[in-house]
Structure 1
């Protein structure tokens, strides 16, 4: 099928299949799925600037579907989501501006590709280590008898973040967090937003781990909150990239046909797993995205 906006010929079946798979992962792990959708678009030959913008566009609809399901389950901290959305928009615009700068020198593919690979590998390694350590700790007899799940292996880090006192301090009731600095939340949001604008997607592959490890948000609440926030901030990111000519809306719509179905399946799967196991299952997935980008960079990305 020809897509005149980007000038590419890509199978719509392939795009819908990618959307479906990404939808399942997004609903289950609370991420937009750009760690797979972005590389999946790149290997078709789509230029990286279109990959970034189009990925954001397709994520909007899928995240709305998945976040609605999580809202019903009480997994969305609305106050946290709205603060994160504001910070993410600031970061997203900064990332989009860097893309515009790199386009002038025709360096978007190589620079974004290399940074993307590095970020995905780091996230995968860290989450695998942390979640496995947490699961091992949860087997301690005392915790098992009490029916509790061990706190994350890096719990001391988020405790330090929560002790940081810089006005205004806010409470996040749904997340079970009292008196956390507004500015710490904003920093997390801006960093994730920059990567969303620079690498594409909603950057949930970074923001969901940051919500858990940096802020101390329970995993399931982090999943639902991140999806809701992605729906808001990705809408802004899509508009910004569309103005800059980086969005092929037809490709995004085809992907959404599969993603809308997959997202609902993914959300339902969260009912059967605890936080550490969700994080452990998530940990190898960024490596798939990294492998696809390496393939694209080395072979000329011609998988159509």
Structure 2
């Protein structure tokens, strides 16, 4: 019982962060599960997905309530993401856990550096409208879904900066669309990991419950933060996650 309470509290902390950054909490859950509970990379990713899937669905709904997610934008993202997440997850479950962990570290550091560089570039004003035609979102969905399925993070962490920088959306709109991409892709990725016995349900279920209780608070905080601060915090968050994974690797 005490273990479940601790897992519940941990899930609540992760859910809050997931709501703030629009990523469902997976990025912080994966290194935390590896370091705190000694899970290998695949098991950490699969167990984190138990929490991520319901958190992503709830966070997407909360974002939609505050900033309507356009269906014609969400569908190409979600459809392509679903297909390619399945492909990525099939590859991931067969790889060496240590190699995967190092790959994840490189991925997070590269993504953080990319975000930092974009923060200091001169940019056109962001808006809720796309800078490029919406069918190009299918290409983004494919790439983000593939990496999301491979690393068990749903693809939102990649889609969010691309939507802000390339497609010119605001951070909040980008996070809402990224959650629409992540919802189906995380579900198919979880199913793949579960079928290959890379999920600890006893640990994952209380994490999921804690996340569901707190993620709405995280979404509320995200909408209250200034745009520049939210982007900067997102970059710092990626670096912290990479550092945690390097400690374990």
| Fold shared per TM-score above 0.5 | yes
Change (3 A) 1:274 1:189: same
The within-5 A match list for 1:257-272 is 257-272=209-224
Residue in structure 2 matching 1:88, options 73, 77, 81: 81
Corresponding residue SS for 1:101: coil
Corresponding residue SS for 1:177: coil
Tell me if structure 2 keeps the 8 A contact 1:91–1:190.
Answer: yes
Change (3 A) 1:151 1:269: farther
Q: How many residues align?
A: 248
The within-5 A match list for 1:37-48 is 37-43=29-35, 44-48=37-41
Q: Distance in 2 between matches of 1:274 and 1:76?
A: 20
Change (3 A) 1:178 1:36: closer
Displacement after TM superposition at 1:279 (Å): 0.8
- String of CA shifts for 1:254-289, please: whole Å, max 9, x gaps: 101221122111111123223332111111111121
Corresponding residue SS for 1:19: helix
Which structure is higher in helix share? Answer: 2
The within-5 A match list for 1:194-273 is 194-273=146-225
- String of CA shifts for 1:64-84, please: whole Å, max 9, x gaps: 221221111124232222211
User: Gaps (5+ residues) in structure 2?
Assistant: none
Q: In the alignment, which residue of structure 2 is the partner of 1:69?
A: 62
Tell me if structure 2 keeps the 8 A contact 1:77–1:221.
Answer: no
Tell me if structure 1 keeps the 8 A contact 2:86–2:146.
Answer: yes
Which structure is higher in strand share? Answer: 1
Q: Which runs of 4+ in 1 moved over 6 A?
A: none
User: Gaps (5+ residues) in structure 1?
Assistant: 2-9, 138-149, 156-173, 298-304
Q: Distance in 1 between matches of 2:160 and 2:244?
A: 22
TM-score by length of 1: 0.74
Tell me if structure 2 keeps the 8 A contact 1:77–1:175.
Answer: no
Corresponding residue SS for 1:176: coil
The within-5 A match list for 1:92-131 is 92-102=85-95, 107=96, 109-131=97-119
Rg comparison, structure with higher value: 1
